[in-house]
Structure 1
Amino acid sequence: MNLRPLALRIAILLVAAAVVSPRFLAAQNAPPNSAASEQQNVEAALQETSAAAARYDFQTLDDDRPLVLRQQPILRWSNPEVGQIYGNVFLWTQGGRPRIIGSLFRWFSPHTHTSHEFQSLSTTPVTGSSDGASPWKTSDPGVVFAPVPEAGDVAEEAARRLLQMRELARQFAVQSTDREGQKFELRRLAQPVYRYEVEQTTTDLVDGALFAFVRGTDPETWLLLEARRTDSGSAIRWEYALARMNSIAFSATHKGRQVWQCEVMPFPEVGAHESTYTSFLFRRP
């Protein structure tokens, strides 16, 4: 019997095994499906933040009516540029107007903590509490409205007003500057994250919408657009306000002209819970 062909075939099989084996073993030892794991993290963050949002209670200085939490988040976001982080944005309204906005998020990697950040969208001071504590009390308005330059007349039909608000939002641009001085052009979401549900008893407000400027899908700045009656009540005009959703610096322009800016907030100021933007950190084991 000629053993040379048999020996040759055995040698070829051994070489093939040596080449294939590492990939085969890697596949056998691969972590669970990353898409399924990510979805589990998304759902875990949603359940945790929804339960936390329901425990907050807010009040405004100028109105005794309770603020109403919208049960579903108006925006769900992540930021894969910085890690595995999943957040949900909740809105508290009063008479259909946004008053408090909160972005509650959980880290899975490289950090493990949970944060609740809030921004007042009220024109008067606000107070906030959770589970009976009173951690947040402001002395300033969260937003200040101004007429939108060259905005034109407010349409009578609701559908046309939405088109107008989308067009007006496109006229704004926002840039952020982080604590290291790096600048980012924020992306405006094309659709509003919230269209006002104006109550019929409201006398000064006709319509409104809330737009987000984001990094990834993480909201960094809010733009409020409202069709409001003037003090005399004889005319209706478009007005806007901008608000931060981070402690870094921001600058906004309208048709290339700067109309708003805010400087970096020192961390002690953020943690004092007396400013119109604040954040609470909850460490996890």
Structure 2
Amino acid sequence: MRLATRSFLSIAFLTASAVVAQDAAETRAVSPLRKLMDESLAWNELLTSEDSAEPMTVRVVMRWANNARGSEDGLTMLYLSQGRPEAVCCVYPWDNKLIHEFDSLSRGTFVARRDGGVFWRPAKPGPVFKPVPGADAPADSPAARLRQMKTLAGQFSSTMLGWRANKSDREELRMLPQPLYRYESQRSDVLDGAVFAFVQGTDPESLLLLEAFQKGNGFEWQFAFARRTSGELEGRHKDAVVWHVPGFPEGKDPLGTHFGIGRAFDSSVNIDLEKK
């Protein structure tokens, strides 16, 4: 009996030690940089219009690292209106600043505010949606539509053409098997949709949006690509190039569909970065 009790206590001690070690690891993982990144989610408000009283919902869909380009910690978030993603933002450290890099995913326009003022107001819709070639009509059930979207997403690919003139930094991007976000929106013109990511490491470099969008009295599958990097990008459906954007996009035009804004780190975060 004493032996069984001793064995039970040993197991309990080891289990408790493992929990303590896990808690300690999680505590250590919350660096000043990670804490600042999480706090920065509240810095911006996106609204469907100047008159809107309710800001869009913010959802973090991925935390990532890109050691190839020196970003050891980053996150991607979506701004949602009626369940549909209207904008995407990547947050990452660069040049002693915390960068918020936005792209419009909207079929319309919106406004973005920070510190009480409007800093970004895209003057036109973001991605260009087109029918998915050869796609069947959206299925009746949500589960069947998700299977359709995964199958359709597998027909697309994306390539990072990079920054160099000779394309020596060209790289085929890897599509994550699961969507970053799947939505059945509350809008009457959007039945269903999902956002898929093409990544370098775990860092999204381009996004693929698939939507069951209204056409006449029914719906059809439509697609659009969106950039998540300053590099030149290409998107293909099977063997056909269906999307191309040049490198080094304009990121300071408050009326553009791509916009970046940075805020300098305080001293505690600078110290943390130096330790890395």
TM-score, structure 1 normalization: 0.77
- State the alpha-carbon separation in 2 of the partners of residues 62 and 205 from structure 1: 23
- In structure 2, the CA distance between the partners of 1:131 and 1:166, relative to structure 1 (3 Å rule), is same
Aligned CA distance change for structure 1 residues 258 and 103 (closer, same or farther; 3 Å): same
Selected match of 2:92 from 105, 108, 124: 105
Confirm or deny: 8 A CA contact 2:48 2:56 kept in the other structure.
Answer: no
Q: Post-superposition shift, 1:114?
A: 1.7
CA drift at 1:81: 2.0
Aligned partners of 2:184 and 2:190 also within 8 Å: no
Gaps of 5+ in 1: 1-35
**Could you tell me how far apart the structure 2 residues matched to 1:64 and 1:218 are?**
33
Q: Distance in 2 between matches of 1:207 and 1:78?
A: 30
Give CA deviations for 1:85-131 in whole Å, capped at 9, x if unaligned: 21111111111100011111235xxx543211111111123321111
| Equivalent pair of 1:206/1:227 in contact (CA under 8 Å) | yes
Q: Does 1:82 align with 2:62?
A: no
Partner of 2:189: 204
Supply the distance in 2 between the matched residues of 1:208 and 1:64 (Cα, whole angstroms).
Answer: 24
Shift in CA distance, 65/175, structure 1 to aligned 2, threshold 3 Å: farther
Percent sequence identity is 35
- Residues 66 and 143 from structure 1, CA distance in 2 versus in 1: closer, same or farther, beyond 3 angstroms? farther
Question: How far off is 1:42 after superposition?
Answer: 5.7
How is 1:147-226 mapped onto 2 (pairs within 5 angstroms)?
147-180=131-164, 181=167, 182-199=169-186, 202-226=187-211
Q: What are structure 2's unaligned runs of at least 5 residues? A: 1-23, 268-276
Q: Equivalent residue of 2:251, what SS?
A: helix
Distance, in Å, in 2 between the alignment partners of 1:55 and 1:282 is 10
Coordinate RMSD, CA, aligned: 2.4
CA gap 1:227/1:215 in 2 versus in 1, 3 angstroms: same
- In structure 2, the CA distance between the partners of 1:174 and 1:84, relative to structure 1 (3 Å rule), is closer
Give the direction of change, closer, same or farther, for the CA distance of 1:241–1:78 in structure 2 (3 Å limit): same
Match of 2:109 among 117, 125, 133: 125
Residue in structure 2 matched with residue 276 of structure 1 by the alignment: 257
**What is the deviation of 1:139?**
1.3
Give the paired residue count.
Answer: 240
Residue 52 of structure 1 is matched in structure 2 by 40
Normalising by structure 2, report the TM-score: 0.79
CA distance in 2, matches of 1:143, 1:282: 27
Tell me the amino acid that sits aligned with residue 77 of structure 1. W
| 3-state SS of 2:124 partner | coil
Q: CA–CA distance in 1 between the matches of 2:259 and 2:89?
A: 10
Flag the 1:45–1:63 CA change in 2: closer, same or farther, 3 A: same
One-letter amino acid matched to 1:101:
V
Match of 2:60, SS state, is coil
